[in-house]
Amino acid sequence: MSILVTGETRVLVQNITGDEGRFHTKQMLLYGTKVVAGTAPGHGGEDVEGVPVFESVAEAVSATGADAALSFVPARFSADAIVEAADNLIPLIVCLSEGIPALDMVKVCAHVKAKGCRLIGPNCPGLMVPGECKIGILPGNIFMPGPVGIVSRSGTLTYEIAAALTKLGVGQSACVGIGGDPIIGTTFIDILAMLQADPQTEAIALIGEIGGSDEEEAAVFIAENVTKPVAAFVAGRTAPPDRRMGHAGAIVTGGRGTAADKMAAFESAGVTVCETTDETAAMIADMLRRKAAAR
């Protein structure tokens, strides 16, 4: 096994009767994920792709023993949905929604932590352990089991690095999209610590982007705690200052959070910084070859 989820993880989908919930529930089932329940007020007693729908998370957990929640709830209701999942002590909560106010997320993240649960996201593609479980919207066909852990702030670039690795015949141990918002439940450092401790993971690919200081903090953590080879790609090098680029967290202000700052921090920590996702995949493959040759 790898990190966070296994083939035995039992997933509950919040807002399973919405268009996105229905579509991605089917995709997760086709991948082999154990989607055991869904919730949608007013739809209790129905089913989606054979998955029973409940009125509340409490009912769903009681009936199915779900131990992970995936939220397709619209942004204006997402904070409440996360709190409901945490109040029912679901250990892993994944929120894909974009546009949740940052102040709401400050309160939600504190509540989730106080309940002893873990939140991935919001504004993320989800996570997966190839060959075992995928929770979210990641396209399962581009992944394959293997030794590379991927942690990323960007959904699309997550797919690009995974596809590039698979094309080279290099599989992945786990892939986690942590989300691009300023306030998120799980950070680079959290996932790096898990990948460092995971015996299946032999190398790490980190995808960062402009804005905030998460990458700089991750670089310090890598220098002090990570012994496995790490290659990084930082998106947004040509972004103009003081303008948000895609993600709510991807904004450079007051000279802080630039791609140059992040790349310099990684290089000083001994991380190999690459120019493209394809180059990152090739570098990871080379790291693994050199590591195997040195055994």
The topology under which CATH files domain 10-120 is Rossmann fold (3.40.50)
Tokens 């075992």, residue located: 132
Going from the C-alpha of 186 to that of each of 32, 72, 117, 179, 214, the distances in angstroms are 25, 18, 11, 9, 11
- pLDDT for 141-170, tens place per residue? 999 999 999 999 988 999 999 999 999 999
* Phi/psi at 233 (5° precision): -130, 135
The answer on pLDDT for 268 being more than 70 is yes
Structure tokens at 51: 């998955």
Structure tokens at 65: 């023993």
The answer on pLDDT for 184 being more than 50 is yes
What whole-number distance in Å separates Cα of residue 217 and Cα of residue 239? 21
Residue 121: CB atoms within 10 Å = 29
Helix (H, G, I), strand (E, B) or coil at 133: strand
Q: Where are the domains of the chain?
A: 10-120, 139-293
Residue of 183, 121, 108, 116 whose CA lies nearest to 152: 121
pLDDT at position 250: 47
Is the bond preceding residue 41 a cis peptide, omega within 30 degrees? no
> What is the percentage of the chain residues whose pLDDT exceeds 70?
93
The answer on pLDDT for 217 being more than 80 is yes
* Phi/psi at 100 (5° precision): -75, 130
pLDDT at position 2: 78
pLDDT at position 247: 52
Average pLDDT of the chain to the nearest whole number: 93
If you average pLDDT over residues 2-18, what whole number do you get? 96
Residue of 157, 136, 154 whose CA lies nearest to 94: 136
Characterize the bridge pairing of strands 145-152 and 172-177: parallel
What whole-number distance in Å separates Cα of residue 230 and Cα of residue 205? 6
Annotation marks residue 247 as catalytic = yes
Residue of 66, 118, 63 whose CA lies nearest to 95: 118
User: Which amino acid would we find at residue 114?
Assistant: A
pLDDT at position 197: 98
The answer on pLDDT for 254 being more than 70 is no
If you average pLDDT over residues 173-198, what whole number do you get? 97
What whole-number distance in Å separates Cα of residue 106 and Cα of residue 82? 12
Q: Same topology for domains 10-120 and 139-293, yes or no?
A: yes
The answer to whether 150 touches 202, Cβ cutoff 8 Å, is no
The answer on pLDDT for 281 being more than 60 is yes
Q: Please report which confidence band the pLDDT of residue 258 belongs to, taking 50, 70 and 90 as the band edges.
A: confident
Tokens 């570098």, residue located: 283
- The DSSP secondary structure of 236-249, one letter per residue, reads -TTPPTT---SSTT
Q: What is the CATH number of domain 139-293?
A: 3.40.50.261
**pTM of the model as a whole:** 0.93
What whole-number distance in Å separates Cα of residue 243 and Cα of residue 165? 32
Catalytic residue among 24, 43, 111, 247: 247
The answer on pLDDT for 294 being more than 90 is no
